[in-house]
Amino acid sequence: MLAAEDAMPSIKSHLVALVLKHTRKKAFRSAEAFRDRVAAARRLEDHRPPRAIATMLDIEETAIDGFPVYDVSPRAPVGTRRLLYLHGGAYCFQMTAYHWGLVAEMATRLACKVTVPIYPLAPEHDFHAMLAMVMSTYRAMLEATPSRDIVFMGDSAGGNMALVVTMTAAEAGMPLPARHVLISPGTDMTVTNPETRAAALTDPWLGIPGGLEAVRLYCAGIDVADWQISPIHGDLSVLPPTIILSGTRDLLYPDTLLFVEKARRAGVEIELVTGKGMIHVWPLIEMPETRMARDRIVAWLQAGDAAPAASGRQLKSVPSA
């Protein structure tokens, strides 16, 4: 847990929540509002690294399946670790400066290369295209980097994707990543947990109607209870050591608690970092609690360097729910 878990949330965190409540929350109040927000975002989005980051780090752009992939490295010598970073955005919104800020910090502090796939988004594309592109990216990474040196990091929908990619790789008999870093991951898209509906009332950002519309747009008709959409319903025993960061004012938090409990019962080494009073993906947004969260991620990964790699386990059968 965070050392300051019992401390009062900072004034800045309250201000951030207030701004989100009066701006971004509107997009999640109805399916129509969500679609309107996506359409408006398409006119403004730019997935490219901000200039400030591009001047500080070495950035190489390639393409996989016709979509950009960025490899971000510090200019100092790098170690053997390599991160696959999967950005959030409900599978409908593009990589942002907030994501790039986290990528830059992880590359610098961990002295590692970070691979960032700009995967296809809904509604223009669906789950099958998204998963295929990210799986192709992972296969390309495995050609250059042993799985024991690969970490999957993802926020929100990207955390969901990290879980699904690992399960898919296990089903295919591929080597698995050594560790997971998941920030406010989406683990259950069925919205059947009563506590999730209660949490939606106090979440200043996310809402159930817009969230369900996002799922409808990307799921390609797959049952939302299927592990490919809701990984909590899959075989979690294949997962590597994992750290999850989740805030108590996030409507995804109740399902995160259930996911952690189920993963531990399946034998997964998993650590939950709970941000008291924190919102969805708070480690991406600049405020005092963000620094503690990022420090915890770095410390956890560095502490795991001496631990035996968990990759290589394979899934015999991943049942659909």
Write down the domain spans for the chain. Answer: 11-305
Nearest-angstrom CA–CA distance, 300 and 289: 17
Q: What is the CATH number of domain 11-305?
A: 3.40.50.1820
Tell me the per-residue pLDDT of 251-295, one tens digit each, with 9 for 90 and over: 999 999 999 999 999 999 999 999 999 999 999 999 999 999 999
Q: To the nearest whole percent, how much of the chain has pLDDT over 90?
A: 90
CB atoms within 10 A of CB 284: 22
SS3 28: helix
- Provide the whole-model pTM: 0.93
Nearest-angstrom CA–CA distance, 28 and 210: 4
Query: Lowest mean pLDDT: which of 11-20, 202-211, 223-232, 299-308?
Result: 299-308
- Residue pair 152/117 in contact (Cβ under 8 Å)? The answer is no
